[in-house]
Amino acid sequence: ETGVTQTPRHLVMGMTNKKSLKCEQHLGHNAMYWYKQSAKKPLELMFVYNFKEQTENNSVPSRFSPECPNSSHLFLHLHTLQPEDSALYLCASSQDRLLVETQYFGPGTRLLVL
Amino acid sequence: QKEVEQDPGPLSVPEGAIVSLNCTYSNSAFQYFMWYRQYSRKGPELLMYTYSSGNKEDGRFTAQVDKSSKYISLFIRDSQPSDSATYLCAMRPRETGGFKTIFGAGTRLFVKA
């Protein structure tokens, strides 16, 4: 719908599991973002990529590992997560990292860590 | 003090009412102000953005920025049940990109038919 797709839409994992979230954008944008959205809390920006290069990392724990193989795809690799990491993980893209006003969001991956 | 404050609601109004959603902020460097709408089980969708002070209108929606009071508003005229969603404000300084964008926690709006 928005041109940004995310898979899976729902994920349940144990604390010792390793999983990956995938995001793909079909808008020809150059910047891609990962956000975390917890209940009743503001969106937290996790990572920003511009032209495949990571430009910002908001002090995210190393158990979250992003990967951006090209401008259309973004991954978030997860390992040894904690229950407090349960949240909605949103991917977004924009024409440029400075044009955040033109961000398009994907539908998110609802993650539950047991 | 949080950089951006937004009343979480919920706000419940009858169909056809004028809705006023608001955010206050503390950082005088903020220059870009955005409003997003988020339906249940969906990602946020950009509704409007404004630069610096003033008003901006788009159909039934009007965004207003008062930098002297550090206060922004989104007005929805002739509200419809389809407007029921969570509304997020966001803002950032002029010279920076996504990393310095700060979001409010969102206000949940219910429009009753």
Over the stretch A32-56, which tens digit does the pLDDT of each residue have? 999 999 988 899 999 989 887 877 7
pLDDT at residue B96, rounded to an integer: 60
Chain B partners within 8 Å of A58 (Cβ): 99
Reported as a pLDDT band with limits 50, 70 and 90, residue B72 is: very high
Are A101 and B104 an interchain contact pair (Cβ–Cβ within 8 Å)? Answer: no
Euclidean distance between CA atoms B37 and A31, whole angstroms: 21
The pair of three-digit structure tokens given for residue A55, joined into one six-digit string: 């430009």
Q: Which residues contact A28 (CB under 8 A, 6 or more apart)?
A: none
Is residue B78's pLDDT more than 90? yes
Q: Does B104 touch chain A (CB under 8 A)?
A: yes
pLDDT at residue B47, rounded to an integer: 94
Q: Are B68 and B92 in contact (CB under 8 A)?
A: no
Q: What integer is the mean pLDDT of A56-69?
A: 88
Q: What integer is the mean pLDDT of B50-63?
A: 92
Using only C-alpha atoms, chain A has a radius of gyration, in whole angstroms, of: 13
Beta-carbon pairs below 8 A across chains A and B: 63
Q: Are A30 and A100 in contact (CB under 8 A)?
A: no
Q: A89 or A49, which is more confident?
A: A89
Q: What integer is the mean pLDDT of A89-102?
A: 83
Q: Which of A21-25, A98-102, A108-112, B66-70 has the lowest mean pLDDT?
A: A98-102
pLDDT at residue B99, rounded to an integer: 61
Euclidean distance between CA atoms A103 and A43, whole angstroms: 14
Minimum-distance CB partner of B32 among A48, A90, A101: A101
Residue type, A98: L
- Mutation for testing the B interface, residue in A88, A97, A101 having most B CBs under 10 Å: A101
Q: Does A98 touch chain B (CB under 8 A)?
A: yes
